[in-house]
Amino acid sequence: MVGAARRTTRRSAAVTSTHQDGRVDGTPGEMVDALVVGGGPAGLSAALCLARYNRRVLVFDTGHGRSTHHQVNRNYLGFPDGIPTIELRRIAREQVSRYPQVEFHQHAITHLTGDAENGFTAHAQGRSWRGRTVVLATGVLDHFPHFHGWESYVGRSMFWCIACDGYENRGRDILVVGHTDAAAGEAMQLFSLTDRIRLLTNSERDEISPVLRGRLAKAGIEVIHDQLHGAEGADGMFTAVLTKGGRRLELESLFSIQGATPETRALRSLGVELNAAGYVVVDEEQHTSMPGVYAAGDLSSRHSHQVSVAVHEGSQAASSANYFLYPPELKEG
């Protein structure tokens, strides 16, 4: 049992209305147990666990995020041949949907207000929903190179994560895109899988340090200070990219190391603590700096951004939220 919760909340006088089968009916102004913002692996894991605690849950899912790309996830246990992340998300949502305590809304939450004492409110497009706790699972926005048709390459031959897709690209001709030491470091890590690597800065700036540049040179990794202009390929598979400087670089795979922006717009109004990179600060039980608010998945940078980690953190956030909702007499100490 999670024992880190510090405060409890009073149940609102607006009692949740349900059908005879227990399903939440979405009555405006009702107070549910949890508002889960985000419908990827972290959010769905949190919703599933909360439902199994018999908590009433609203999930807000706009259908975007990393788990809507085309990649196949091959490092999640239980799928020996891998599973497309889109399919994993579909199956998970179907699993969660079997619980009458959970209701899905396809709304982008613009901001959140409230506190643990009086409850929280999620706002979107002139509508609002109330909950006693909040689980934030909005993920990040990746900064992929943009060129005509770039979206079709994501997850097929354009990747962002060596842990997710490096193994399948061993021995291939890889172009790493990025202008910082993070990109240089990724190129050096990929060197353990293939010796056919080049790095394209894709920026007017080249911020690779002398130390990393020396390591790249020693490994025979060419650094090209130019910007990506277009691509050649079909069905999401690269054959070459074209640079603004006029070069044609043949490749089989591209690893984009241009960073990502945490999707924190909706939660900034709560005043939840963020770290210097903009990620939500959480402890080992997914508590944020605000009582009653939890964060899970890529929005938190405590661990590597993996589906397995997101599912774990979603489950832990749900357990923490559930414990928080117990009356004092059911808590330790």
Distance from the first to the final alpha carbon of the chain: 12
Across the chain, what does the average pLDDT equal? 90
The highest-level CATH class for domain 32-141+260-330 is: alpha beta
Here the tokens at position 186 are 């990724």
Burial class (CB within 10 angstroms; exposed 0-12, middle 13-18, buried 19+) of 215: middle
- The span from the CA of 151 to the CA of 144, in Å, is 9
**Which fold would CATH assign to domain 144-256?**
FAD/NAD(P)-binding domain (3.50.50)
* Per-residue pLDDT tens digits for 28-51: 568 999 999 999 999 999 999 999
Q: Where are the domains of the chain?
A: 32-141+260-330, 144-256
Tokens of 47: 């919703």
The string of pLDDT tens digits covering residues 289-330 is 999 999 999 999 766 788 999 999 999 999 999 999 999 999
pTM score over 0.95 = no
Query: Which helix H or strand E contains 134, and what residues bound it?
Result: strand 127-136
Same fold, 32-141+260-330 and 144-256: yes
H or E element that contains 74: none
Angle at 39 between CA 87 and CA 36, to 5 degrees: 155
Q: How much is the average pLDDT of 230-248?
A: 97
